[in-house]
């Protein structure tokens, strides 16, 4: 946010263009302005909606919808936050199974899959899924013909004529 000096005092300028419909603030009621400018949390990565491109938001929401459905029970199950080991927090579907408590639940982590090879994506690949078109780095490199060993060498070690 910018600041404007007026009479020796600094006044905070308010955002005057709506994020959702790109109209001026004066064309909104107070309630509509609040509704349009609130941020939603992504159900997949727990980041704000304004940190996503529209394509990435749609990809993450589709992953959540598909992961929420249990084909065994033929219904949508509840989702809960889940952390496996020292990995980032993700989401998991919880299914009830025929067993005695506390063994009557099955926790199934939800991951994004590569659109080409169907392997699960890593953290970086999930974050840049819109740029990579939903592919893992390996498939993206094959699609863009970046398969030479040169791309595997760290940039610090790249020297002409040196083979690692």
- CA 140, CA 132: separation in Å to the nearest integer? 6
- CA 129, CA 10: separation in Å to the nearest integer? 42
- CA 163, CA 159: separation in Å to the nearest integer? 8
Residue 21 near residue 68 (C-beta atoms within 8 A): no
- CA 66, CA 46: separation in Å to the nearest integer? 17
Element (H, E) at 34: helix 30-37
Residue 87 near residue 78 (C-beta atoms within 8 A): no
Q: Give the model's pLDDT for residue 110.
A: 93
Question: In sequence order, which residues have a C-beta less than 8 Å from that of residue 63 and are 6 or more positions away?
Answer: 44, 110, 111, 112
Residue-wise pLDDT tens digits, 5-50: 444 433 333 457 777 777 888 888 887 777 777 778 888 988 887 7
- CA 115, CA 70: separation in Å to the nearest integer? 21
pTM: 0.66
- CA 109, CA 59: separation in Å to the nearest integer? 17
pLDDT mean by block of 10 residues, the chain; 164 residues: 42 58 80 74 85 88 92 89 85 90 90 94 91 92 82 66 57
Q: For residue 114, which phi and psi values (nearest 5 degrees)?
A: -65, 140
């Amino acid at each position: 946010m910018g600041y404007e000096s007026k009479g020796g005092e600094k006044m905070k300028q308010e955002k005057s263009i709506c994020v959702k419909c790109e109209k001026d603030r004066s064309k909104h009621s107070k309630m509509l302005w609040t509704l349009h400018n609130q941020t939603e949390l992504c159900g997949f990565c727990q980041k704000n909606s304004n940190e996503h491109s529209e394509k990435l938001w749609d990809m993450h929401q589709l992953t959540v919808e598909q992961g929420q459905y249990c084909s065994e029970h033929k219904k949508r199950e509840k989702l809960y936050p889940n952390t496996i080991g020292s990995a980032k927090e993700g989401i998991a579907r919880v299914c009830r199974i025929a067993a005695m408590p506390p063994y009557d639940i099955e926790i199934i982590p939800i991951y994004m899959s590569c659109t080409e090879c169907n392997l699960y994506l890593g953290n970086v690949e999930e974050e840049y899924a819109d740029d990579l078109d939903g592919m893992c780095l390996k498939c993206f490199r094959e699609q863009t013909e970046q398969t030479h060993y040169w791309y595997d060498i760290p940039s610090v070690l790249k020297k002409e004529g040196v083979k690692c």
